[in-house]
Amino acid sequence: MVILTLNCGSSSAKYQVYDWDNKDVLTVGVVERIGQEYSTIEQKSRGKEEFNDKFVSPTHAEAIDYILKMLQDPTYGCIKDLSEIGAVGHRVLHGGEMFKKSTLVTDEVVEQLKTLIPLGPLHMPGNIMGIECARKLMPNVPQAIVLDTAWHQTMPKEAFMYAVPYEWYEKYNVRRYGFHGTSHLYCAKRAAVLLGKENKDTNVIILHIGNGASACAVKDGVCIDTTMGLTPLEGLVMGTRSGDIDPAVIPYICENAGYTVKEMDTILNKKSGLVGLCGKSDRRDVSIMAENGDEKAQLCVDLECHRIKKYIGAYAALLGRVDAIVFTAGVGEMGENIRLGSCQGLESLGIKIDPEKNDLSHCRNAETVISTDDSPVKIFVIPTDEELVITEDAYALMKGTYDVHTNFHYSFEDPNYVNKARERGLVKNLEKKPGLKNIIAVPPKKN
């Protein structure tokens, strides 16, 4: 039996097929440019050539239909027919206060999700359309939703409330929800394994740094605070999003520049952050520009590191004791300069980064330690695996064994857990960079 995961964004659909019996990834792929003149698909199945194509996909319906056809393709696919799919897991941006954990999809659940569209107008329509299309094409297959916001439901009220009129919370659900929850869950539990601790005894600060970025404070194995808020706009500096900003800036600029509220929302979400400061949103481009003397690009690097460092300090104060700092996601896993700039100068908090180890850690197939040997606080780089969390939630819901994460055991919580696909990829990484083996994180042996 295989489990299909679908992550439908505003104009894309990422997918993965997981062989549950052999605990291995069979296929990964993505359809992009949905709704534009043409869409593109990239698919890679284990042991087969990569498939690339262009096709017309006005909506997610055509995209998912094409995905399912390609999964059954004799040359590029991984299954003979759809009957091999035992469950489908969908990543959903926003659960509001309605969904506090993963759940099976029903007609009622779909209608409830539609009421949450105002809380995530960019992503929720695509999420919901993906669910509806998959249910139509696979009506007899159990389907589950895994919410980005669910992990953060353990935040205390003083962490998730805003100091605005209380009726905004009562009438309009205005509060901090937090996002990237599936990634934070995976990394928190992997960090506990690498520390040789139980989840309930683990305090970590997780930095999910990608085009979107968020920090999360984890105390005794659960989230107590996070940087994103009602939407994914608040918090750290991001590729195209502003992160934290004085709210008074919005009416000030609207009045002086003549922007509407809708235009300002677009600017803050799509034209701010790094792209607003230097014209580029990709950290690789920004880093090259900064190395070549571009002052605005260097400002981007400095500003991003400053913001991350500030939140590390704030969350260290909330936690009292920090066992580890965790970097994850595209930039967290591959951005040596951002990791270094974010951790340097934090020695008084017991956080000591080793520049040489940090430079070596440029790999998505291994968990590494980049702190000095005498650092009281470990610094880990943990490649995230949101798809595996979605896969395991979907399977457990199908079998009736699922529960909230504090009462549920994931396969990756086992010290002997191995990601087979990454293990294969690591062999190639070590051929190119043998020194990488010296910083690979290994769970301590228990007495």
β-strands 213-219, 143-147 pairing = unpaired
Annotated active-site residue 148? The verdict is yes
Asked whether the beta carbons of 277 and 303 are under 8 A apart, the reply is yes
In this prediction, residue 119 carries a pLDDT of 87
Identical fold between 2-147 and 196-381: yes
Average pLDDT over residues 13-31: 95
- Span 216-222, average pLDDT: 98
- pLDDT computed for residue 12 by the predictor: 87
Q: Tell me the per-residue pLDDT of 228-260, one tens digit each, with 9 for 90 and over.
A: 999 999 999 999 999 999 999 999 999 999 999
Encoded tokens for 258: 């003549």
Q: What pLDDT, on a 0 to 100 scale, did the predictor assign at position 96? A: 92
The torsion region of residue 129 among left (phi > 0), alpha (psi -120 to 50) and beta comes to alpha
Of 232, 98, 197, 206, the closest CA to residue 153 belongs to 98
Domain boundaries, the chain: 2-147, 196-381
Mean pLDDT taken over the chain: 95
pLDDT at 123: 86
114-146 residue pLDDT tens: 999 988 888 899 999 999 999 999 999 999 999
pLDDT beyond 70 at 447: no
Is domain 196-381 in CATH 3.90.1150.10, yes or no?
no
- 272 CB contacts (<8 Å, ≥6 apart)? 240, 241, 242
Q: Which of 148, 323, 385, 393 is catalytic?
A: 148
Provide, rounded to the nearest whole percent, the portion of the chain with pLDDT above 90: 93
Q: What six digits make up the tokens of 94? A: 């926003």
pLDDT above 70 for 110: yes
Q: Does the domain formed by 2-147 have CATH 3.30.420.40?
A: yes
- Residue 3 belongs to what H/E stretch? strand 2-8
Q: Sorting pLDDT into bands at 50, 70 and 90, what band is 326? A: very high
Strand, helix or coil for residue 207: strand
How confident is the model over 349-369, as pLDDT tens digits? 999 999 999 999 999 999 999
Which residues, at least 6 apart from 200, have a Cβ–Cβ distance to it below 8 Å? 220, 221, 406
